[in-house]
Amino acid sequence: MPMKAPDSGRAIGAEFLGSGAVEESLYEADGPVLFTTISKAGQQLLAYVADESVDGTWLILSACTPRVVDELKRGQIAVRDALTSSWMWLAFKGVDGSLTRAWSILPDEVPDGHLPAPGTPLLPEHEPVITARAKGESIVAGATPASVVAFVADSTRKAIKILLEWVLERPNEGRPPDELRTLYDLPVQRFAFNSFEVAFGSPSGTFDSEELRRAANLLQKGLAWASDDNEHPLSAVSDDERSAILHAALQLTPPSSGPICEVEISGTWMSGGPELLTRVARRRIRSELRRLQSEHVVRLVGRIGEVDRDNFTFILRGTDEGTQYRGVFEEEMLDDVVDYFAEDRRVAVVGVHRAGRLYVAVISADAKAEGE
């Protein structure tokens, strides 16, 4: 639908918006598409070329600040959000380069196709690698539960971490712990409160990392399978890989109860398009994990023989059956683990044993040993 003049009752003097001359071009395609200009009063405005014809150009303008321009350049705000977050005007620029007509408008009055698509950044390199959007009736702007914020941030990090650990456990593919954390602890690029959405950028300097690409491909594979209603099993090179994919995908499915009913995953890593995960997807993943029988809950007693403070792992030795276990624990357990190691105390560990690793849920001093 071509752009046209709105209700004439909303008309303003075009001179109010200044000349429409380009102050700074932010994006070009055969000419400036998004740029800043200066109003008659000296106010910086953001201008977007919404439509063109033989008679001239339709511009959408909005009030902006140097901070908004900086956020656009950094990829921290989408172009549409920058254009619609303040006062908006529609102006017609004649072939002579002057603004001839102007109107005050609202975002929903702009015809479809004449604003950038939601989430579109200024530059292609600003595209988030993964965006997680939590949906639910009680998730609204200004009243988003803290549990929703924590879920979106933590689940994405954990999903990537699970798959990177799987990829890097293969022979001759080790990485220093600091680099591993850099890979899975993705930088938050921007927030959006249409439901609750977090966009994550690629780690600096690691976009071409082969390990990261493999982990991203495995994640996409798992999410596509989980959101599909076909009955075919998840394909993988081994049961261990299948288990890693399923556990990563499980992190991003909505919990069985609570405010989150759906989770939409998109971004450049999702080359097949956005994946919508429901509680049905969660049940499907858990059913497949039970079929694999790839994990079981264990309670072990032993001594911590080694601690890797950077990677949050330890070696549990001196167990009753004489077997060593590599334990993986959460960061908040670090102080306790280091204390037990330094004091050489016997500890009781409860967790899930999966793919040769012990994922620790609880660790405490062994009550029996303490009583001796």
132-158 residue pLDDT tens: 999 988 887 777 888 898 999 899 989
Q: Which two tokens stand for residue 43?
A: 């106010």
CATH of 295-371, one of 2.40.50.320, 3.40.190.10, 3.40.50.720, 3.40.50.620: 2.40.50.320
Residues in the chain, pLDDT under 70: 7-9, 170-185, 187-195, 204-208, 294, 355, 369-372
Domain boundaries, the chain: 8-125, 127-292, 295-371
189-203 residue pLDDT tens: 666 655 688 888 877
CA 232 to chain centre: 28
- Predicted confidence at residue 26, as pLDDT, reads 95
- Predicted confidence at residue 229, as pLDDT, reads 81
Other beta carbons within 10 angstroms of residue 139's beta carbon come to 21
Q: How far apart are CA 173 and CA 4, in angstroms?
A: 59
| Of residues 162, 133, 160, the one with CA closest to residue 276 | 133
| Of residues 229, 241, 317, 319, the one with CA closest to residue 277 | 229
- Predicted confidence at residue 187, as pLDDT, reads 66
159-198 residue pLDDT tens: 998 898 888 774 333 344 565 666 666 766 666 655 688 8
Q: Are 296 and 254 in contact (CB under 8 A)?
A: no
- Predicted confidence at residue 279, as pLDDT, reads 95
